[in-house]
Amino acid sequence: MKSNKEQLQSRGFVTDDDLLVYNTLNESQLIESKEPQKRTIGIKLLSKYNKEEYIPLFCKLLEKENKLYTKIALCDALIEYKEKSVPFLLPLVGTIGNNQHKKIEIIDLDKKSYPLPRDIIARILIRIGPKVFPEIKEIIKLNKNHNQITELIDVVGHISWNFNDTSLENILIEFYNKNKEHEFMVWKIIRAFQSFNSQKVIDILENTIKTNKNDVIVAEAKRSIKRIKERK
């Protein structure tokens, strides 16, 4: 069912004409408005200045925003800063909303593209692209915050798939070898391995199929091998 104008506005949707109407108003007052449409307008107007000092503000607003189009405006604004926004985004990975994977699931087995992460910050990082890899690499190497790393593995897998960038393959393999007892982490990495095509990765996937006792992980390993072969 198509949404009417009032329904769209209640979710923060705006048009270019709306931006013109509010162009002379104070952006700070707009982003603090109780009306989602005005918050979206404030964000879009502020983002035009492209000032780095707004990155923490946009991140803070994203943490509490619950209207669809206003959240999209915030994501778009942060993506425009590219790698400059990454240090502010990484601490928020896996902390906004409750839509992230919490357990191993039989999903996406028929997908031919790389599954899109559920975490909103992960999605922003993916749209920034390989420029996020240096800082993600250091977080994975530290091996401290597993909740954060599980989402970042999705980011690595997705970017590697879409940009054909395999620069973090060895980091991912090393992390896998250190966390074989962490079943949820293994599941995430096996999913990410579909984005690589080295013999080392294929060997790990084939060994998983032979030795792992979890049917879901085995199914994911088979799926990853299938995707690798299809891309070759």
pLDDT per residue rounded down to tens, the chain (232 residues):
456 777 887 888 878 777 776 665 678 889 999 999 999 999 999 998 889 999 999 999 999 999 999 999 999 999 999 999 999 999 999 999 999 999 999 888 888 889 999 999 999 999 999 999 999 999 999 988 999 999 999 999 999 999 999 999 999 999 999 999 999 999 999 999 999 999 999 999 999 999 999 999 999 999 999 999 998 7
Q: What is the pTM of this model?
A: 0.91
> Which pLDDT value is given to residue 92?
98
CA 6, distance to chain mean position in Å, is: 30
pLDDT on residue 189: 98
| 61 contacts: CB under 8 Å, gap ≥ 6 | 31, 39, 43, 74
Q: Cβ atoms within 10 A of the Cβ of 38, count?
A: 21
pLDDT at 2: 58
User: CB-side exposure of 20: number of CA atoms within 13 Å?
Assistant: 3
For 205, residues 6+ apart whose C-beta sits below 8 A from its C-beta are 190, 193, 221, 224, 225, 228
